[in-house]
Chain A
Amino acid sequence: MTTPQMVMFEAEFKQLNYILEKLLREANAKVIFLVDKNGQLISGVGETERFDTTSLASLTAGNIAATGGLAKLIGEKEFSILFHEGEKDNLHISIVAGRVILVVLFDSRSSLGLVRLRVKKASEELSEIFENLAKRAEEKEKSGESDFPFAEITDDDIDNLFS
């Protein structure tokens, strides 16, 4: 398989959120999301309740996938930053660690320059966490250790989902 399974642990999740919260403050942003390239929402901070976060995650990933396709057509590896300017709100979308998407929503209280600057710094910190996660997953796989919660599910458990 091309992309390894993404697993998130409690400790890393806390670290991620800490960085996102910091970025939210420093960039003066309204909301920040972290999305898997496959369209799964990893985390969100700020005024998240105002948005349909699941749809946002899926469309962001579609957007990144489509622009990634465009990039390849013209011989680029990817477009690592996308910027969408609206009348009031703007979206700054960037790829972190080649694997996850960082979405920053901001309005006139902030500026593109500030967001870019802060995102750059936060991206480095986030990359580190995702590298650690990848390492941890790899080590686990090597040691054959499995605390996977689904290992013991029964057919009944599965059937119950649909009852």
Chain B
Amino acid sequence: MSFINYASREINCKIVYYGPGLCGKTTNLQFIYSKTAPEAKGKMISLATETERTLFFDFLPLALGEIKGFKTRFHLYTVPGQVFYDASRKLILKGVDGVVFVADSQEERMDANIESLDNLEFNLREQGYDLKKLPFVVQYNKRDLPNLVELDEMRRELNPAGVPDFEACATTGEGVFETLKAVAKLILIDLKKGK
């Protein structure tokens, strides 16, 4: 849950990037990091294995600016995508304010996408969250690759509720900021309602 500090006039929100292994969660964060002004970002932390697979999480703090005199900070986290790191994924979802599901658009990864989305719903439910009520956006990543699943089919499988969704290519940055903006906006709208 977001943390509101009236003393330092700050509001902190946590966004988690979820998705199957090698779908591009870390690449999303790396792109955001590379394109953000130095004064608006903190250090990016990656707890990864020697082969650069995420082991625990990546973390990127962003300070976007002020709303009503409150500094608005977003803490971006990724989860490790590989199936056997489920215990770690659960931990990272604690206190989440919004979720980005990064799907891999390649045909052979469609099963992994569906499995990961189920896993997300399950892990959230275990912590008392309902994905339908949480700020949630979907990103169809790797749209630059050849063996793509049609967008309609991906939507049908991964976004039946019709939440905001975006085509992306995280390596070139296409769709990356659009995705982030969409989820940040949903979180702020949620905060506006005063939850």
Nearest Cβ in chain A — how far from B100, in angstroms? 15
Are B61's CB and A66's CB within 8 A? no
A146 contacts across to B, CB distance below 8 A: 194
Identify the closest chain A residue to B66 (Cβ): A161
Complex interface residues of chain B between 106 and 125 (CB less than 8 A to chain A): none
A-B contact pairs, 23 of them (CB 8 A): A1-B1, A3-B1, A3-B94, A3-B95, A7-B5, A8-B4, A8-B6, A9-B6, A10-B7, A14-B7, A38-B3, A39-B14, A58-B59, A69-B87, A69-B88, A69-B91, A148-B191, A149-B4, A150-B68, A150-B188, A153-B68, A153-B188, A162-B64
B194 contacts across to A, CB distance below 8 A: 146, 148, 150-151
- With A and B bound together, what is the CA distance between A114 and B129 in angstroms? 41
**A81 CB-CB contact with B under 8 Å:** no
**A6 CB-CB contact with B under 8 Å:** yes
Complex interface residues of chain A between 124 and 163 (CB less than 8 A to chain B): 146, 148-153, 157-158, 160-162
Chain B interface residues toward A at CB < 8 A: 1-8, 11-12, 14, 42-43, 45, 47, 56-57, 59, 61, 64-65, 67-70, 72, 75, 77, 87-88, 90-92, 94-95, 127-129, 177, 181, 184-185, 188-189, 191-192, 194-195
- With A and B bound together, what is the CA distance between A158 and B185 in angstroms? 7
**A52 CB-CB contact with B under 8 Å:** yes
Q: How many residues of A contact B (CB 8 A)?
A: 41
Q: A58-B75, A150-B67 are in contact. Are A40 and B3 (CB under 8 A)?
A: yes
Which 8 residue pairs of A and B lie closest in terms of their CB atoms, listed nearest first?
A: A38-B95, A13-B7, A65-B91, A2-B128, A40-B3, A8-B5, A40-B12, A5-B1
**A98 CB-CB contact with B under 8 Å:** no
Identify the closest chain A residue to B9 (Cβ): A149
Are B14's CB and A38's CB within 8 A? yes
Are B95's CB and A37's CB within 8 A? yes
In the complex, number of A-B residue pairs with CB atoms less than 8 Å apart: 135
Q: A39-B95, A40-B12, A55-B59 are in contact. Are A162 and B75 (CB under 8 A)?
A: no
Are A55's CB and B129's CB within 8 A? no
B77 contacts across to A, CB distance below 8 A: 58
Q: A40-B75, A58-B59, A150-B11 are in contact. Are A10 and B2 (CB under 8 A)?
A: no
Nearest Cβ in chain A — how far from B101, in angstroms? 20
Are B4's CB and A5's CB within 8 A? yes
Chain A, residues 16-58, CB within 8 Å of chain B (1/0): the string is 0000000000000000000011111010000000001011001
B68 contacts across to A, CB distance below 8 A: 149-150, 152-153, 157
